[in-house]
Chains A and B, each alone.
Chain A
């Protein structure tokens, strides 16, 4: 039996999901060519780029995950997350205009044009590892949130939410993704902003909250946060998602270089003003209300993770059902808007980097468009089934975030700011070294620690345990580049390191 409050919540959510479907169907009417499907005809205004970039940035981790982390460990976590937004500002101001000027469709295309076929294939592999991992992780997050909030079975929650995302992404491509992102941005920002402002006033501001929570919550370094952990996590957050395909595509879809710059940088500036402090208020408000703390503890005793329960419990305890429904829709919006971007990028990779680049260079636009739709449908379906069958997969997939920065970021920056033909070999070596170093550090640091302990070496174990694999791999890739550069100026590996010509397209 559904009570009145639950019915209100469900009605709000159903209306929101129905609106998403309607937007997707309307967007599909504007898709005439493969360029419409992959880069929205490169005709998106800066304020829309800003909204879609911000909505994509704020996924499950940056919203409910951050609130739960602030609740558990203090506001240091929220300050560290500033690195995500600073990264967007840097990308927008200095990288986005250059990327937009190249008229690219995918990140791998950039690597092919700068560093040749070997780097292109390595980039395709890295993009797919990142995107598939992120997509499944967002679907699992969507399933666990919906399951907790609506009290429905997990498979129904995953498959129901995924069906909506896959539907509008399939019929409307990036046009539907961008349009739905704008709605998701409004609900997300409006919902989180209103909740944060209300709770701030209700709890007497930060002064009032400081009186009701553990004082350690306000300390930069506390039992949860060592100096080395703060520094390496900040660096890992700054570089770990730099130029990943969902952000790079936001540079490609803008009307021109200027709109790309202010769209992406504006997204970062807005989020830097908005998100860290909102997550601080929500996390501290949850901790300062004994009723909320008691309910969270009862959920945790039932085996639920912090991230699943802190935000929904706070919303339910604070707001009446109709408003709580909007707030919960905001959570689902956060996860959906990140998942749909990953799905759209995967379909573009299948169309351009795999099919057009290796199977049929003369493929017609109609066949590419058809392939893109099938790819979106199939990848989305398989990802939903994987998220459904293996909900623990998130723990395994968390490692995919460790590989992007070591392999891609440094060569990407070399390609944009410091490119010369004689630096191609060194860049390819840096890509491979970074990948292998991150892999070794991710899975081998425990053995290294055991070995050092066995050899009686005096070392602080947290120095090794807390040192992020992404950062370690990135440092190794920079060192490999610097060493290889003078040795391999004139060396090549034939066609593997021969920069590829730009793909001719009708734009």
Chain B
């Protein structure tokens, strides 16, 4: 039997990981957009 507590903990970890990674990605693109608007393309990439 696979312990249910393990699965529960894993589920909460997955939520934290999802919110974190989407936040980091959003912050990266906001910065890239900001630098692109200022005309400095050094921080903009794909």
Chain A interface residues toward B at CB < 8 A: 27, 30, 40, 43-45, 47-48, 50-51, 75-76, 79, 175, 178-179, 182, 185-186, 189-190, 193, 196-197, 200, 205-207, 210, 218-220, 255, 270, 273-274, 276-278, 280-281
Pairs across A and B, CB under 8 Å, 8 listed: A47-B28, A48-B25, A76-B2, A197-B15, A206-B7, A206-B11, A207-B4, A218-B2
Known: A51-B25, A278-B14. 10 other contacts (CB 8 A): A30-B46, A43-B45, A45-B45, A190-B22, A196-B14, A200-B11, A205-B8, A206-B7, A273-B14, A277-B11
Chain A CB count within 10 A is highest, among B2, B18, B21, for B21
- Bound Cα distance from A45 to B28, whole angstroms: 9
B26 (CB) vs chain A CBs: closest residue? A186
CB distance from A272 to the nearest CB of B (A): 9
Selected from B10, B15, B46, the residue in CB contact (under 8 A) with A48 is: B46
Chain B residues near A270 (CB-CB < 8 A): 17, 21
- Bound Cα distance from A260 to B15, whole angstroms: 25
Chain B CB count within 10 A is highest, among A27, A197, A200, A277, for A277
Chain A residues near B14 (CB-CB < 8 A): 193, 196, 273-274, 277-278
- Bound Cα distance from A340 to B38, whole angstroms: 33
- Bound Cα distance from A383 to B46, whole angstroms: 27
CB distance from B10 to the nearest CB of A (A): 4
Chain B residues near A43 (CB-CB < 8 A): 45-46
Chain B residues near A186 (CB-CB < 8 A): 22, 25
Selected from A178, A193, A200, the residue in CB contact (under 8 A) with B46 is: A178
CB distance from A119 to the nearest CB of B (A): 32
CB distance from A194 to the nearest CB of B (A): 9
- Bound Cα distance from A310 to B19, whole angstroms: 26
Is there contact, CB below 8 Å, between B17 and A273?
Answer: yes
Chain A residues near B16 (CB-CB < 8 A): 273
Chain A residues near B17 (CB-CB < 8 A): 270, 273-274
Chain A residues near B21 (CB-CB < 8 A): 47, 50, 189, 270
Is there contact, CB below 8 Å, between B4 and A193?
Answer: no
Interface on chain A toward B: helix, strand, loop, or mixed SS?
helix
Is there contact, CB below 8 Å, between B45 and A193?
Answer: no
Is there contact, CB below 8 Å, between A193 and B8?
Answer: no
Is there contact, CB below 8 Å, between A277 and B10?
Answer: yes
B15 (CB) vs chain A CBs: closest residue? A197
A79 (CB) vs chain B CBs: closest residue? B2
Q: Which 5 A-B pairs have the closest CB atoms?
A: A273-B17, A193-B18, A277-B10, A274-B14, A206-B4
If A47-B25, A196-B14, A277-B14 touch, whether A179 touches B4 (CB-CB below 8 Å) is no
Chain B residues near A218 (CB-CB < 8 A): 1-2, 4
- Bound Cα distance from A207 to B11, whole angstroms: 13
Is there contact, CB below 8 Å, between A40 and B46?
Answer: yes
- Bound Cα distance from A189 to B16, whole angstroms: 12
Chain B residues near A206 (CB-CB < 8 A): 4, 7-8, 11
- Bound Cα distance from A218 to B17, whole angstroms: 24
Is there contact, CB below 8 Å, between A277 and B18?
Answer: no
B21 (CB) vs chain A CBs: closest residue? A270
Selected from A51, A75, A189, the residue in CB contact (under 8 A) with B2 is: A75
A266 (CB) vs chain B CBs: closest residue? B21
- Bound Cα distance from A308 to B4, whole angstroms: 28
Chain B residues near A185 (CB-CB < 8 A): 25
Binary interface profile of B, 13-44, with partner A (CB < 8 Å = 1, else 0)? Answer: 11111100110110010000000000000000
- Bound Cα distance from A50 to B18, whole angstroms: 13
If A48-B28, A281-B11 touch, whether A189 touches B46 (CB-CB below 8 Å) is no
Chain A residues near B15 (CB-CB < 8 A): 193, 197
Is there contact, CB below 8 Å, between A277 and B25?
Answer: no
CB distance from A470 to the nearest CB of B (A): 26
CB distance from A64 to the nearest CB of B (A): 18
Chain B residues near A205 (CB-CB < 8 A): 8, 11
Chain A residues near B10 (CB-CB < 8 A): 273, 276-277
B4 (CB) vs chain A CBs: closest residue? A206
Chain B residues near A220 (CB-CB < 8 A): 1-2
A220 (CB) vs chain B CBs: closest residue? B2
Is there contact, CB below 8 Å, between A44 and B46?
Answer: yes
- Bound Cα distance from A319 to B40, whole angstroms: 43
Selected from A47, A175, A179, A280, the residue in CB contact (under 8 A) with B7 is: A280
B28 (CB) vs chain A CBs: closest residue? A47
CB distance from B16 to the nearest CB of A (A): 8
Chain A residues near B25 (CB-CB < 8 A): 47-48, 51, 182, 185-186
- Bound Cα distance from A472 to B17, whole angstroms: 36
CB distance from A293 to the nearest CB of B (A): 21
Chain B residues near A281 (CB-CB < 8 A): 11
- Bound Cα distance from A274 to B10, whole angstroms: 8
Chain B residues near A51 (CB-CB < 8 A): 25
- Bound Cα distance from A294 to B46, whole angstroms: 45
- Bound Cα distance from A274 to B21, whole angstroms: 11
